[in-house]
Amino acid sequence: MLLRTITVIGLGLFLSGCMTVEQQRTADEEKCRSYGFTRKNDAFAECLQRLELDRRAAARENRYVDPFPRVIYRPVYVPVQPK
């Protein structure tokens, strides 16, 4: 029972970090408005575009940062010859 509770809580916390496309767009618009841009002009559109490009660049960078090595070293057994 305790394991199930911990699993459900962990899954809930994991999924709470996700955003839908609409939520991301709204957050981007709020960020651009906080910078002083007004809606429906070229500067606002450029701000949204830069935020999206920054997000894509960060995602590309995260793909190259791998905490687990891709090379797996296997021990090789070499039998000792008796003298």
Of the pLDDT bands very low, low, confident and very high (cuts 50, 70, 90), residue 18 is confident
Task: Determine, yes or no, domain membership for 72.
Answer: no
User: What average pLDDT does this structure show over 3-17?
Assistant: 73
Task: Determine, yes or no, domain membership for 10.
Answer: no
8 Å CB contact between 65 and 45:
no
Task: Determine, yes or no, domain membership for 42.
Answer: yes
d(CA 37, CA 23): 19
User: What average pLDDT does this structure show over 37-64?
Assistant: 93
User: What average pLDDT does this structure show over 61-80?
Assistant: 80
d(CA 34, CA 30): 6
Torsion, Cα 26 64 68 71, to 10 degrees, reads: 150
Structural domain count of the chain: 1
Q: What is the pTM of this model?
A: 0.61
Task: Determine, yes or no, domain membership for 29.
Answer: yes
Domain containing residue 49 = 21-63
